[in-house]
Amino acid sequence: MKIERLELALVKLPLVHFFETSFGRIYDKTFIIVRVDGGGAIGFGECVAEQDPYYSAETTETAWHVISEFIAPRIVGVDVIHPREVFAALKGIRGNNMAKAAVEMAAWDLYARQRGEPLARVLGGTRTKIASGVSIGIQDSLDDLAAKVEQELAAGYRRIKIKIKPGWDVDAVGMIRNRFGSIPLMVDANAAYSLADADHLAKLDRFDLMMIEQPLDYDDLSDHAALQKRLKTPICLDESIKTVRYGELAIAAGACRIINIKPGRIGGFTESIRLHDLCAARGVPVWHGGMLESGIGRAANIHLATLPNFSLPGDIAASRRYFNPDLIDPPIEVAPDGTVAVPDGPGLGVAIRHDRVERATVRRASFAPAVV
């Protein structure tokens, strides 16, 4: 397989509803779409780096820089036998996993389309539908939160996750338990607490949550291990699991009992499969995270989530919660039973509306091998 050309588009889209986490509120999303051409086929990838370095150190601009200056020269025009070699071929570039993943996942899509097979199949997945959960941001009031929870339960989602931060935690969870009973419920703190808050976080134990996601620092493992000893609620790590190696260390340290896999965070599909397999071997369940992706990145997530150890509902919800219209048509829908069907066409298996991508594009770049 050879990538003959690589193109980048920086796109900006308004969100249907603002999204607020412990690190801030956003009203729109700016992200990079990667296109790779080879052997008469085209593959697409979406970079999950955000505009600001608040979830992770990477931003859309660092990803643009690293792909343009360092990844494209190592990948474009070079023979790689299989997309699983792409991450290893980028070993000389430290970190920058979101930039690497966007290109690696586009290469997987290209490979699958060249073979005429759905991405799920080439990744080794087996499911034809996946269980879907929602991530509900911090709202302006508990009444607004209650209205959101009601709406998402009515849509069929199989679990509710709410974002928490100091001042928006125990009362919000208590309100949901009071009004909605024993629904599958979890919280995500996006690193908003410290170990000094352990007694406060232990107040969540009585609500029988599925898990608490990333309560402590984005870079931490050892404080999470100490916290897990003091909590009944399982800890799930997101931000802290930057690589497969960190996943291994976190499990060994007892820093978490569950892991959130986002291919962007750990460098793409190949590394995600390695982490998935490692967790399966250690008896640690995983679920697929989300980064408010457009239909392009969302479809990629759906395919990966067909692997067997994705045994908990993921943050892979319907397009209409994020963008209207989405960059794909038809959009991703959730069925009344809270599942999302896996597209069965070649590659990502969704129809990209290139006119909409075009209209949302604020900058582009193109890379081809130098002509000799």
> Could you list the active site residues?
163, 262
Give strand ranges (E) for the chain.
Answer: 5-21, 24-38, 41-46, 129-131, 134-136, 160-163, 185-188, 212-213, 235-237, 258-261, 286-288, 339-341, 361-367
CB-based contacts of 8: which residues, under 8 Å, 6+ apart? 32, 33, 34, 35, 64, 67, 68, 364, 365, 366
Report, in Å, the least distance between residue 127 CB and ligand OSB: 19
The residue ranges that bind Mg ion (CB under 5 A) are: 188, 213, 238
Report, in Å, the least distance between residue 27 CB and ligand OSB: 14
Residue 306 contact among ligand OSB, Mg ion, none, beta carbon within 5 to 8 Å by kind: none
| Nearer CB in complex with Mg ion: 100/265 | 265
Q: Which residue is nearest to Mg ion (CB)?
A: 238
| Nearer CB in complex with ligand OSB: 289/346 | 289
| Nearer CB in complex with Mg ion: 169/238 | 238
> Under the criterion CB under 6 A, does residue 162 sit at the interface with ligand OSB?
no
Return d(Cα 318, Cα 337) in angstroms, integer. 13
The rounded radius of gyration (Å) of the Cα atoms in the chain is 20
> Under the criterion CB under 6 A, does residue 130 sit at the interface with ligand OSB?
no
CB-based contacts of 221: which residues, under 8 Å, 6+ apart? 240, 246, 249, 250, 253, 255
Within its chain, how far is the Cα of 269 from the centroid? 11
Binding ligand OSB (rule: CB under 6 A), the pick from 55, 287, 310, 367 is 55
Determine contact, residues 269/97, Cβ cutoff 8 Å: no
Residue 290 contact among ligand OSB, Mg ion, none, beta carbon within 5 to 8 Å by kind: ligand OSB
Binding segment for ligand OSB (CB under 6 A), chosen from 61-69, 289-297, 302-310, 332-340, is 289-297
Count, residues near ligand OSB per rule CB under 6 A: 11
Binding ligand OSB (rule: CB under 6 A), the pick from 291, 299, 302, 304 is 291
Report, in Å, the least distance between residue 86 CB and ligand OSB: 24
Residue 315 contact among Mg ion, ligand OSB, none, beta carbon within 5 to 8 Å by kind: ligand OSB
Placement of tokens 């960059």 in the chain: 327
Determine contact, residues 106/36, Cβ cutoff 8 Å: yes
Report, in Å, the least distance between residue 321 CB and ligand OSB: 7
Tokens for 8, please give them.
């980048």
Report, in Å, the least distance between residue 153 CB and Mg ion: 21
> Under the criterion CB under 6 A, does residue 319 sit at the interface with ligand OSB?
no
| Nearer CB in complex with ligand OSB: 38/133 | 133
